[in-house]
């Protein structure tokens, strides 16, 4: 369980914005499914965007068994990041402009989820986290589909959060400078559901209720 930073996760730059407690880390991971997985491919860094989900003390992501990301990251050191942007921060000087954000970095060795039962449970957990109840209504997964899917996971033992919030932090001597300053809040908004061609069914509650990128509390 992450509570104190490791040498690798201890924030040096603006360290007062960092947090290492699981409640803060979990809230960010659960609010934003989009993640970036960083790994080394043929000697050079690659960062691949994908979806992550958390179950208990681990995060998971999946992809084609043939995916270079999935093949390369299996058993390898990775760094997974998750970011929510909450506002653009406009200050009186260019230097003080910033972004209000909530982000997480998780370090570790990616472990492959193996075995049909464990893989199925992980994929169901992914669906349950996004669309509770949908898994049970789907055409069951085939053995070939399961085989073609590689799921990787990372424990949350070495993770950090960093949160930027509030108004611009202009120094006192800049406060009277005659330019507008403040924050431009950023909100993710879901549009109305659009049924696929040929679908004559009501939008299920798990679809209508879906919210992407939860706002900061």
CB of 89 to ligand FAD, least distance (A): 10
Span of 4-12, 124-132, 175-183, 184-192 interacting with ligand FAD by CB under 6 A: 4-12
Q: Is 16 in the site for ligand FAD (CB under 6 A)?
A: no
Contact 69, 153 (CB under 8 A): no
CB of 103 to ligand FAD, least distance (A): 4
Span of 5-13, 39-47, 61-69, 207-215 interacting with ligand FAD by CB under 6 A: 5-13
Q: Is 8 in the site for ligand FAD (CB under 6 A)?
A: yes
Whose Cβ is closer to ligand FAD: residue 122's or residue 158's? 158
Determine the 3-state secondary structure of 199 from DSSP: coil
Beta strands in the chain (DSSP E): 18-19, 34-41, 44-51, 53-55, 58-64, 77-90, 98-109, 111-112, 149-155, 159-164, 182-185
Rg (C-alpha) for the chain, rounded Å, is 20
Determine the 3-state secondary structure of 54 from DSSP: strand
Determine the 3-state secondary structure of 215 from DSSP: coil
> How many chain residues touch ligand FAD (CB under 6 A)?
15
Whose Cβ is closer to ligand FAD: residue 95's or residue 209's? 95
Which own/partner contact pairs does 138-145 have at CB distance under 8 Å and 24+ positions apart? 143/116
Determine the 3-state secondary structure of 46 from DSSP: strand
Measured in Å, how far apart are the chain's first and last C-alpha atoms? 23
CB of 24 to ligand FAD, least distance (A): 10
CB of 73 to ligand FAD, least distance (A): 18
Whose Cβ is closer to ligand FAD: residue 12's or residue 139's? 12
Pick out residues in 128-167 that bind ligand FAD (CB under 6 A): 160-162
Whose Cβ is closer to ligand FAD: residue 25's or residue 122's? 25
Whose Cβ is closer to ligand FAD: residue 30's or residue 136's? 30
The C-alpha atoms of residue 60 and residue 124 are separated, in whole angstroms, by 12
Pick out residues in 61-120 that bind ligand FAD (CB under 6 A): 83, 85, 99, 101, 103-105
Q: Is 12 in the site for ligand FAD (CB under 6 A)?
A: yes
Contact 39, 46 (CB under 8 A): yes
The C-alpha atoms of residue 36 and residue 22 are separated, in whole angstroms, by 20
Interacting residues toward ligand FAD by CB under 6 A:
8-9, 11-13, 83, 85, 99, 101, 103-105, 160-162
């Amino acid at each position: 369980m992450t509570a104190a930073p490791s040498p690798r996760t201890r924030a040096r730059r603006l360290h007062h914005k960092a947090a290492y407690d699981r409640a803060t880390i979990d809230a960010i991971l659960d609010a934003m499914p989009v993640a970036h997985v960083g790994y080394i491919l043929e000697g050079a860094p690659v960062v691949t965007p994908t979806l992550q989900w958390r179950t208990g003390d681990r995060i998971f992501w999946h992809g084609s068994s043939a995916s270079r990301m999935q093949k390369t990251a299996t058993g390898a050191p990775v760094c997974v990041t998750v970011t929510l942007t909450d506002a653009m921060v406009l200050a009186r000087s260019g230097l003080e402009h910033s972004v209000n954000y909530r982000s997480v970095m998780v370090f570790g060795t990616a472990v492959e989820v193996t075995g049909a039962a464990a893989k199925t449970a992980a994929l169901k957990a992914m669906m349950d986290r996004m669309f509770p109840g949908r898994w049970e209504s789907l055409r069951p997964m085939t053995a070939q589909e399961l085989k073609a899917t590689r799921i990787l996971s990372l424990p949350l033992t070495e993770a950090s959060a960093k949160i930027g919030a509030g108004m611009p932090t202009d120094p006192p001597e800049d406060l009277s400078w005659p330019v507008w300053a403040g924050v431009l809040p950023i909100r993710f908004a879901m549009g109305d559901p659009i049924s696929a061609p040929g679908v004559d069914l009501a939008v299920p509650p798990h679809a209508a209720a879906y919210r992407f990128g939860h706002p900061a509390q």
